[in-house]
């Protein structure tokens, strides 16, 4: 199964990295590595996240919570699509 990032998800990761660099520069590499490492598990464990009940097909859109971060993704037969990533304090999207 392939892992695909939307442009929005890539922008989210860049935005989060810029925020962490300013507020906790020594943790930037660790947080990025851990977050991407968790995302890379999704093709093997696509049901790891919780279904997003508001989605048109709740079981196909899921949220994986990792520490203080939320990764929203959709599950397809041949791919996991990362839709967005945000810090929990930013609120649900």
Domains of the chain, first to last: 2-87 (3.30.2310.20)
Quote the CA–CA distance of 54 and 51 in Å, as a whole number.
9
Q: Exposed e or buried b for every residue in 71-89, given b needs 16+ CB within 10 A?
A: bbbbbeeeebbbbbbbeee
* Tens place of pLDDT per residue across the chain (93 aa): 999 999 999 999 999 888 888 888 888 888 889 999 999 999 999 999 999 999 988 789 999 998 889 999 999 999 999 999 998 767 665
Q: What is the pTM of this model?
A: 0.89
Residue 2 pairs in a beta bridge with 79
């Amino acid at each position: 199964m392939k892992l695909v990032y939307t442009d929005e998800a890539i922008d989210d990761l860049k935005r989060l990295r810029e925020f962490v660099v300013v507020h906790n520069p020594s943790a930037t590499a660790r947080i990025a590595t851990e977050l991407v490492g968790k995302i890379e598990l999704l093709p093997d464990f696509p049901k790891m996240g919780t279904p997003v009940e508001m989605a048109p097909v709740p079981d196909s859109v899921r949220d994986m919570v990792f520490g203080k971060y939320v990764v929203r993704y959709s599950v397809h037969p041949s791919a996991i699509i990362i839709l967005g990533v945000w810090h929990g304090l930013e609120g649900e999207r």
